[in-house]
Amino acid sequence: MNRNARNVLHQRRSSIGRRSRATEAVEFFNVLTSPQLLEATEALLPKHRERLYPPTVALSMFMRQVLEADGSCQKAVNGWAAQRAADGLTACSVRTGGYCRARQRVPLEMVSTLTRQTGRELSKKAPAQWLWRGRAVKLVDGTGISMPDTPENQARYPQPNTQAPGVGFPLARLVLVICLASGAALDAAVGPHSGKGTGELGLVRGLLEGFCAGDVMLADALYCNYFLIATLKAAGVDVLFEQNGARITDFRRGQSLGTRDHLVHWSKPAARPQWMTPEQYAGFPDELTVREVKVAHRVLVTTMLDHRRVSKDDLSDLYARRWNVELDLRNLKTTMGMDVLSCQTPQMNEKQLWVHLLAYNVIRLLMAQAANNAGVDPRELSFKHTVQLWTEWVARGLSATKDCGRLFTLIAQCRVGNRPKRIEPRMRKRRPKPYPWLKVPRAQARQKIERHGHAWETK
């Protein structure tokens, strides 16, 4: 690298550092400008002029926005204006237009790349005691994400056909890969909720490049698919799934390894899937050897064939930890409010989704640092407590870099309860307000009210 290139590189790094130190409003970005991520950050930073909301500030405000209980743009702009006043800077407009345009200028690639890289850094630095038998276990699961009913969103993510036109909402399908040890989001794929190639198996095929030899994929029965298992096994990745309900398990067949524990040969399905070319189909093996075990009234399927190294109880204990991905999805959708996105276009909704994942990884980074200092497993710490503490910490002008010791100590104080085999009914005790469902477009309902009044007024 010549002198001019080094000077340019130094100037860009200094510029990022100055912006990060300029105000506590970009405290989220300070966590991302660690030496490991600085090079990736500066490579993804778009060319821009000195504005009120440069990309680093806009991204930091966006991340803080998705963590706040009031996630409105007005709240974010008001907070930024108040922080500027506290720092002795000139007053700025509190209109949201400038901030909304700044969010649009933040590249989606920058947000998604930072998310993946923070997840990889967290997973790679997990201590040995956080791993399962020294191996990285990656959780996979899918969920649905709703968004505002706009023509643009409907075109990209059509509403389910069970909903009537004008009263439904666009729905996207999201598949996540999450590190079991640290809880970090490693990768994600998003697509329409229905249509060809939009199922969870179709989306997860685009995420397989993130799996390395020696990894373990842990997922539910939906992923117990011949072609997925064969692909992962060829890459040196082991799997542990629950048996798919469409497949019959007969422990009288195959090579017995113990009580309800055997090796069995699966034949390649005769029907070629529509997404697969004839050449790809021919490349899969005609037969696949897997291990099936029955524990706790559940049949598990795995490619870890040696019962002396990995016992039935080991597999049962590991599969019980799959529930962590359900808790992680709850943290994202309920605690962080990702259940319903708020943008009017699919491009901004996808960006908002990735900002949620990036902010989620920042919280997981704080939890991992606190757990490492306290000598505990990060899964023992409360995610919601960390979010609440972090937002209050930043709101009071405290720094994660200068006051990290106190912050990590406070994060590690709140532990989640150990409740094995907990069962809760999926029911609500508190009754909702007795309003009828809106079954016609809102504009049509307004016209009816103008002509005839509200239903209770006409009685």
CATH number (domain holding residue 220): 3.90.350.10
In the structure, what pLDDT confidence band is assigned to residue 88 with cuts at 50, 70 and 90?
Answer: confident
Which structural domain range is residue 102 located in? 3-106
Q: What is the average pLDDT across 404-432?
A: 84
Q: Averaged over 299-316, what is the pLDDT?
A: 96
- Domain stops at, among 300, 326, 352: 326
Stretch 414-438: mean pLDDT: 81
pLDDT tens for 126-183 read: 999 999 999 999 999 999 999 999 999 999 999 998 888 888 999 999 999 999 999 9
- Alpha-carbon separation of residue 394 from 117, 388, 428 (angstroms): 24, 10, 35
| pLDDT at residue number 4 | 60
Query: Would residue 362 count as lying in a domain?
Result: no
Query: Are residues 68 and 36 part of one domain?
Result: yes
What are the b/e assignments for 256-269, b being 16+ CB within 10 Å? ebeeebbebebebe
Do 163 and 196 share a domain, yes or no?
yes
When pLDDT is cut at 50, 70 and 90, the band that residue 23 belongs to is: very low
Percent of the chain with pLDDT over 90: 61
Q: Give the 3-state secondary structure of residue 243.
A: coil
Q: What pLDDT is stored for residue 398 in this prediction?
A: 79
106, 127, 147: which is the final residue of a domain? 106
Question: Two tokens at 6?
Answer: 């080094």
What residues form DSSP beta bridges with 289?
265
**CA 404/CA 369 separation, integer angstroms:** 9
CB 296 within 8 A of CB 302: no
Residue 194 lies in a domain: yes
* pTM (two decimals): 0.88
Distance CA 449, CA 9 (A): 63
Pick from 53-67, 303-317, 410-424: least confident:
410-424
pLDDT at 147: 96
Same domain, 102 and 117: no
Tokens of 123: 């997973």
Residue 45 and residue 87 share a domain: yes
Q: Are 267 and 286 members of one domain?
A: yes
DSSP 335: I
Domain end among 66, 83, 106:
106
* Residue, of 458 and 435, whose pLDDT is higher: 435
Do 137 and 281 belong together in one domain?
yes
Q: How confident is the model at residue 119 (pLDDT cuts 50, 70, 90)?
A: very high
- 72 plus 147 within the same structural domain: no
pLDDT in tens, 247-298: 999 999 999 999 999 999 999 999 999 999 999 999 999 999 999 999 988 9
Residue 115 and residue 193 share a domain: yes
DSSP string, 273-304: PTTS-HHHHHHS-SEEEEEEEEETTEEEEES-
pLDDT given for residue 292 in this prediction: 97
Whether residue 233 is found in the same domain as residue 139: yes
Q: pLDDT-based confidence at 56, cuts 50/70/90?
A: confident
Please state the rounded mean pLDDT for residues 340-359.
Answer: 96
Average pLDDT value for the chain: 87
Q: How many structural domains are present in the chain? A: 2
User: Taking the mean position of all CA atoms in its chain, how far away is CA 268?
Assistant: 33
Position 98 confidence tier, pLDDT thresholds 50, 70, 90:
very high
Domain assignment present for 355:
no
- 437, part of any domain: no
pLDDT tier at 51, thresholds 50, 70, 90: confident
DSSP code of residue 433: P
Whether 334 maps to a domain, the answer reads no
Contact 190, 173 (CB under 8 A): yes
Helix axes 55-67, 383-395, angle to 10 degrees: 130
Q: Is residue 121 part of a domain?
A: yes
In a domain, 454, yes or no: no
Residues 182 and 99 in one domain: no
**Is residue 61 located within the same domain as residue 119?**
no
Q: What is the DSSP string of 121-176?
A: HHHHT--GGGSBTTB-EEEEEEEEEE----HHHHHHSPPPTTSPTTS---EEEEEE
- Is position 55 within any domain? yes
Assess whether 255 and 286 both reside in one domain. yes
